[in-house]
Chains A and B, each alone.
Chain A
Amino acid sequence: MRIFGIDLGTTNSLIAAMDGDRPCVFEDPSTRAKVLPSVVAIGPDGPVAVGDDAIALEPQLSSGHESGGGNVAVVRSVKRYMGLGGSEVAPEDQPRYAFADLSGPVVRFKCGSRIYTPPQISAEILRALKTRVEATAEKVERVVITVPAYFTDGQRQATKDAGRLAGLEVVRLVNEPTAASLAYGLEKMAEGKVAVYDFGGGTFDISILNIAGGVFEVLATNGDTHLGGDDIDNALVNWILEGLPDSLKSERHVWNTARHEAESAKKRLSEVDQTEVTIQLPNQTIRKKISRSKLESIAIPFVERTLERCSLALKDAKLAPSDIDAVVLVGGSTRMPVVRRSVADKFGREPLCSIDPDLVVALGAAVQAGVLMGSQQEMLLLDVVPLSLGIETMGGVMERIIHRNTTIPTSVTENFTTAVDNQTHVDIHVLQGEREMARDCRSLARFKLGPIEPQPAGYPKIAVTFLIDANGILNVTARDERAGREHSVDVKPSYGLTDDEIERMLEEAIDLGEQDLEERLLTVARSDGEQILAALRKQLGEWGSLVEPDERTSMEDAARRLEAAMEGRDRELISRLVEELNHLSTPFAERIMDAAIKLALEKRSVEEIS
């Protein structure tokens, strides 16, 4: 079964997969459109439409009259709210949406009488993409989803949550510029030191990679998760509506219509030098001519910000613009002539856009999906963590333990101990950011180690390992060095949904007529069982010589018990047996890793001889 690649964009979303050795985007069966606008309409009983159908429900002015609206809430650019707490919503984004609650660790939208979080709304977009593929009678279960390289841990987690809520297994998150480089690299269109300039609807990323011999190594990345085409649109709208009283400007119908006109004008001005917008209000008509140079003067401050980020990335990579061999353009906003010119000036060369900037990220995600399925054995993707990770120490100082642009996966182990006699817990506050003081950085989570047995101060020795996985997400484990065993870690994320909340949302999402929750959870447990059984079968087939006879016996016994349990309906038993089988196969797994490395060594010897 194929793994699919998804570009969950601010403005548009796409789904793609490998077709033979080329990636291919799925089209909407009726309209043949490759992109799905990331717009969701929510009615009183739940989500009613995604994409163009949702846009049609947006409150607009037509012939001077209000249409649409009513009790349907239309949410755009939900990606801008993923992983953010209410207090982090930008002022310019506030009047556009009806927020239920801006005080908590997760933004909540009010849609009629119901409340939705950004992952729930993103899940609707993912569901719509899933449906698009399933119209071809192929099931979508495992996916790769792309995220901006500069997304924080909380934003990444929110994206994974959205996948889970849509009933998908998110096998990997891939950074958007890296995905784009895979698409170009596959076609051998870009090699050497490559800069990927990704200017989308809501976010900006610049990644500098070294591409050689199938290895895609990110050297540095920088960006702004709140800088995109949307900002240029907003600035243009403000100019168009200049002079109107604020009360009229903040009217949803007026704003939406003006934004729609502004966006169209912006796109037209990539082809022509001059255009006109007309907005029919009840009592007046706004008619304005916009020249390309006027648009460019509005866009320039935003473009300058992107160029500053490029400078920072080059500095971290210890490269000059002239060291770059190729520049690749990604994202719809790069169609603007002013953007292309500015990028060409900055790097001293014409940028590449031979692969459609709207499609390239999804195509790259499909390539990554292919790698995960076992094809492209030569490809090795070495991405980085975009922001430094640290812990809060005495005096509120941020002590960095993992530096930004460190290749992932990466891990660091720090020793902790108690400050007073009989201290039962140790608190660790983990932060992300580049500033000196903890309060200026972004809180990631608080970890509580314990309970610790009563001992004198300074005596306990707890080794805490901070591991950033291939998704760029932090995992923390702890080990009591004196007792020689795992230590429990209680995690309290600073932003995002708890597992309980997600379970509850999964319940709510189930339609009447569909299976009830118990049934759904049973299906998930059985699927986990199938996965581990298939994996073990394959591993025993390939690496069987590494298993001791009694190990094999106990694993096969546990596997038989699991198979029996899967025929029944006790999902907790199934989950327990999956855990047990996993635990039993750990020594085997470690031996496989060692053997895999030795195989590489043997290959080298052969190369040296020949």
Chain B
Amino acid sequence: MVCDQCGAPLGAELDCFAALELPKKLRIDSQALEAAYHRLGRRIHPDRFSSGSAAVRSASLRGTALLTRSYRTLRDPVSRGLYWLEFSGQKLGENNQNVPPELAATVFEVQEELAEMRDAAPALRAGFREKIEGRRAELEDSMTELKSQLDANFAAWDASGEGDHPELMVSLKGILSRIAYLRTLIRDVDRELENLKAA
């Protein structure tokens, strides 16, 4: 299973935090994360072992690939959240039954507007474009809001102790679900705007 945004593999078998020698805290300072990645990279990158035995070179290659994967997974808050789910033995539901109705309604409305724009006569498209661009700005705002909800969720995890926290897990799944929906929608909007530009 891979994150469909960045291609980073998700899976309980890869301990991203341990790979970067970081504590299991969900709020991560991006500078500290990058510094850890660079420091460890300098130590085990294949460039350091070019005259080593084939076994060492192979171990270096595999180790660096895992290090890079871990860094990319943890760097983006969304992939970090998805990873945390997997790591905790959870899954994001296939049918996204957690999506609140008003988001579903927004998706439906926007898709309708995109279809209208696609089918409109060329002369009218410019008018539609402004409307859709306005929509996109709204969607971006919603995304920003969701991301700060995600951050708050991470803070809550960090503050709570060891063990399961079912209510935090439910909340996390809900936020990630909404983000996934919204990302798909924004991607569709961008694609239509690109097509419009090209036409």
Residues of A within 8 A of B (CB): 3, 171-172, 213, 215, 368, 371-374, 377-378, 380-382, 400-403, 406-413, 467, 469-470, 531-532, 534-536, 538-539, 581-583, 585-586, 588-590, 592-593, 596-597, 599-601, 603-604
Is there an interface contact between A593 and B60, defined as CB atoms closer than 8 Å?
A: yes
Against A, the Cβ 8 Å flags (1 = close, 0 = not) of B1-32 are 01000110100000000000100000000000
Contact B59 A589 (CB under 8 A): yes
* In contact, A599 and B56 (Cβ under 8 angstroms): no
Evaluate contact between A532 and B54: CB separation under 8 angstroms: yes
Cα A172 to Cα B61 in complex, Å, equals 13
In the complex, the answer to whether A409 meets B43 with C-beta atoms within 8 Å is: no
With a CB–CB cut-off of 8 A, which chain A residues contact B56? Answer: 535, 539, 585, 589, 592-593
Top 3 A-B pairs, shortest CB-CB distance: A411-B65, A589-B55, A372-B50
Asked whether A536 lies within 8 Å of B68 as measured between CB atoms, the reply is no
Structural contact, B6 and A600, CB atoms closer than 8 A: no
User: Given A597-B21, A597-B43, are A409 and B61 neighbors across the interface (CB < 8 Å)?
Assistant: yes
Q: Could you say which residues of chain B place their CB within 8 Å of the CB of A592?
A: 56, 59
Docked-complex contact B53 and A171, CB < 8 angstroms: no
Nearest chain A CB to B114 CB, angstrom units = 19
In this complex, how many residues of chain B approach chain A with their Cβ under 8 Å: the count is 37
- Bound-state Cα–Cα, A536 to B72, Å: 33
Give the docked Cα–Cα distance between A378 and B47 (Å).
Answer: 12
Question: Is B91 located at the chain interface by the 8 A CB criterion?
Answer: no
Q: Across the interface, do B55 and A470 meet the contact criterion of CB distance under 8 Å?
A: no
Which residues 83-128 of B sit at the A interface, judged by CB distance below 8 A? none
B65 x A600 contact (CB < 8 A): no
Do B65 and A409 touch (CB < 8 A)?
A: yes
Does B40 touch A at the CB level, under 8 Å? yes
The distance in angstroms between the C-alpha atoms of A536 and B56, with both chains bound, is 10
> B44 interface residue, CB < 8 Å from A?
yes
Residue of B nearest to A372 (CB): B50
Q: Do the beta carbons of A467 and B61 come within 8 Å of each other?
A: yes
In this complex, which of A413, A467, A596 has the most chain B Cβ atoms within 10 angstroms of its Cβ? A596
Q: Which residues of B contact A (CB under 8 A)?
A: 2, 6-7, 9, 21, 36, 38-48, 50-56, 58-66, 68-69, 71-72
The SS class assigned to the B binding surface is: helix
Q: Are B2 and A412 in contact (CB under 8 A)?
A: yes
A469 lies within 8 A of B55 (CB): no
The answer to whether B46 and A380 touch across the interface, beta carbons within 8 angstroms, is: no
Which residue in chain A gives the minimum CB-CB distance to B19? A597
Decide: A402 and B7 in contact? CB cutoff 8 A.
Answer: yes
> Quick one: given A378-B42, A412-B9, A597-B21, are A588 and B55 in contact (CB under 8 Å)?
yes
- Pairwise interchain contact A467-B62, C-beta atoms closer than 8 A: yes
Q: How far is the CB of B165 from chain A (nearest CB, A)?
A: 29
Given A213-B38, A409-B61, 18 more A-B residue pairs with CB atoms under 8 Å apart are A171-B50, A373-B50, A380-B41, A409-B68, A411-B65, A411-B69, A412-B2, A412-B9, A413-B9, A467-B61, A469-B46, A470-B47, A538-B52, A585-B55, A589-B55, A593-B59, A597-B63, A600-B40
- Tell me if B47 and A372 are in contact (CB < 8 A): yes
Complex alpha-carbon distance, A380 and B54, angstroms: 21
Would A589 and B53 count as touching, CB distance under 8 A?
Answer: yes
A409 engages B46 (CB within 8 Å): yes
Provide a sorted-by-A list of 14 A–B residue pairs whose CB atoms are within 8 angstroms.
Answer: A373-B50, A401-B2, A407-B68, A408-B68, A409-B64, A469-B46, A469-B61, A534-B51, A585-B53, A586-B59, A590-B59, A596-B43, A600-B39, A600-B42
Across the interface, which residues of B come within 8 angstroms of A401, CB to CB?
2, 7
In the complex where A535-B52, A539-B52, A582-B54 touch, is A380 in contact with B42 (Cβ < 8 A)? yes
What distance in Å separates the Cβ of B136 from its nearest Cβ neighbour in chain A? 16
Contact B65 A410 (CB under 8 A): yes
Given contacts A585-B53, A585-B55, A593-B63, is CB(A407)–CB(B72) below 8 Å? yes
Residue in contact with A412 in the complex, picked from B7, B62, B63, CB distance below 8 Å: B7
User: Which of A373, A382, A581, A589 is B58 in contact with, Cβ under 8 Å?
Assistant: A589
Selected from A3, A213, A411, A600, the residue in CB contact (under 8 A) with B43 is A600
Which residues of B have CB within 8 Å of A213?
A: 38
A402: chain B residues within 8 A (beta carbon) = 7
